[in-house]
A and B are shown apart, each in its own frame.
Chain A
Amino acid sequence: MTLGIQVRNVSMQYSDEVKALDDVSFDLQGGKIYGLLGRNGAGKSSLMAVMAAFRKPTSGEVLVNGQPVWENPAVTREICLIREAADTVEHSEPVEAALDFAAYMRPNWDMDYARQLLERFEVSERTKINALSRGKRAALWVILGLASRAPITMFDEPYIGMDAPSRYIFYDEILNDFMAHPRTIIVSTHLIEEVARLFEEVVIIDRGRLVLQEDTDTLRARGVAVTGRVEAVDQVVNGMPILNTRQLGPTKSVVIYGDLDPERRSLARSAGLELGPVPLQDLFVHLTGVREDAE
């Protein structure tokens, strides 16, 4: 059985001025890989900390299959949150002590898998944690998350400090282990292009608020680049949300957000305009409010 998560009207206020989360609500079904996307400071880490019951929200609550997570060990045992300030043994201890601690804490811990991962990421069990390079330390946190096999596993920007080959090992392991042991996995990131294809669904937050929750492929299909003669392009995109405009002589290319209705489509076709796809990262940039002219 996989565990789903319900986030109910969660707000988090750190001080009078700073509202990290503002009435966020969404449901995640169990057994999927989710991407939690947001710019730096959007509230990703606060949200994950609340979902893992590391922090109590100022208001609202998080439920796992109907049970509140806050001060509920039966539920929190099933949740593993991996973040840079990792919750493990003293960093003066060797790597193997971190594995032993995880084995003690995590009901589904798989020590063989953890050792296999150490080998893949080339991390030695005997090395002290504080003697590991930044990238190897990030690999260790990732290993603690993967081998926990927790029904809900969350990674908060796990790749920071990892080089590209290590990141790809991480992506491969997430996928393969997810297929072998289906569970709910949530990865927060602002590096979208590299990981987006792992996500079945994405949740986008901005300035503490939920922007959208969407099937990744559906979101990808949301953007359209319309290219052709200036007047024809202007006519087709008139009144639609525009992400980006470029012009070269008599040719204009406009990126819009949303579906072109059949009328606009046929107008585009008869005017010989080209309709093309848009990278997910561009859609994300639009949805989280950074416009070209604001940079």
Chain B
Amino acid sequence: MTTFDDRSPIYRQIAEQIKADVLSGALQEGDQVMSTNQYAAFYRINPATAAKAFQELVDEGILYRRRGVGMFVSEGAREALRAERRARFYPEVFEPMVAEAKVLGIPIEELIERLRALVEEDER
């Protein structure tokens, strides 16, 4: 069972987890998401907390609600999430990596070489 760290708001952690599932394809567009109560029981959290996570995702357009049926993954959710992550990729992933390489004295040429090798390996 997934355990949440008890510090950041749990609903945000749930929302992040659902987003990760949409990104990875574990949740497909049009798929029904577990209900608030199922989430609450599974993670042992207050149902109002789980509901907040869903509300956040509805507000962001990742999920939509069908009255009396449940919550579903929106059309285009995956692409929207990818675009959002892409926008964050350089400042949050790439630039810190380059900064770290600098601190460690790894020459930029070496990074480029390694990057090329990885891509070639991937293509093979």
Spell out A's residues near B (CB within 8 Å).
Answer: 32-33, 168, 171-172, 175-176, 178-179, 193, 196-200, 216-217, 220-221, 276-280
Tell yes or no: B108 within 8 A of A by CB: no
Q: Indicate whether A193 sits within 8 Å of B45 (C-beta atoms), given known contacts A175-B40, A179-B37, A217-B52.
A: no
B74 CB to closest chain A CB (Å) equals 24
Q: For residue B4, which residues in chain A have a CB less than 8 angstroms away from its CB?
A: 197
* In contact, B47 and A179 (Cβ under 8 angstroms): yes
| Total B residues in contact with A, Cβ cutoff 8 Å | 19
Q: For residue B37, which residues in chain A have a CB less than 8 angstroms away from its CB?
A: 179
Q: For residue B7, which residues in chain A have a CB less than 8 angstroms away from its CB?
A: 220, 276-280
Q: For residue A197, which residues in chain B have a CB less than 8 angstroms away from its CB?
A: 4, 6, 10, 43-46, 49
Q: For residue A199, which residues in chain B have a CB less than 8 angstroms away from its CB?
A: 46
Q: Indicate whether A172 sits within 8 Å of B44 (C-beta atoms), given known contacts A196-B6, A220-B8, A280-B6.
A: yes
Taking A175-B41, A176-B41, A216-B49 as given, write out 19 further A-B residue pairs in contact, using a Cβ cutoff of 8 Å, ordered by the A residue number.
A172-B44, A178-B47, A179-B40, A179-B47, A196-B6, A197-B43, A197-B44, A197-B45, A198-B45, A199-B46, A200-B48, A217-B10, A217-B52, A220-B9, A221-B8, A276-B7, A277-B5, A279-B7, A280-B6
User: A285–B42 Cα gap in the complex (Å)?
Assistant: 29
* In contact, B44 and A171 (Cβ under 8 angstroms): yes
Q: For residue A168, which residues in chain B have a CB less than 8 angstroms away from its CB?
A: 44
Tell yes or no: B64 within 8 A of A by CB: no
Tell yes or no: B11 within 8 A of A by CB: yes
* In contact, A217 and B41 (Cβ under 8 angstroms): no
B77 CB to closest chain A CB (Å) equals 24
